[in-house]
Homo-oligomer: A and B are copies of this chain.
Amino acid sequence: MLSAEAKIRVRYAETDRMGYVYYGNYATYYEVARGELVRKIGVTYVQLEADGYFLPIAELKIKYIKPALYDELLTVKVTLKKFESAKLEFEYQVFNEQGELINTGYTLQVFISGKTRRPTRPPKYFIEALEQAIKRDNN
The chain A residues found within 8 Å of chain B, CB to CB, are 9, 11-13, 15-20, 22-28, 31-32, 35, 44-46, 49, 54, 56-64, 67, 69-71
State how many copies of this chain the complex holds.
4
A59: chain B residues at CB < 8 Å are 61-64
B13 touches A27 (CB 8 A): yes
Docked Cα-Cα span, A17 to B22, in Å, equals 10
Known: A13-B24, A23-B56. 10 other contacts (CB 8 A): A11-B28, A12-B22, A12-B35, A16-B17, A22-B27, A24-B25, A24-B28, A24-B60, A45-B71, A60-B62
Please judge, given known A-B contacts A62-B59, A64-B59, whether A15 and B17 are in contact too, CB under 8 Å. Answer: yes
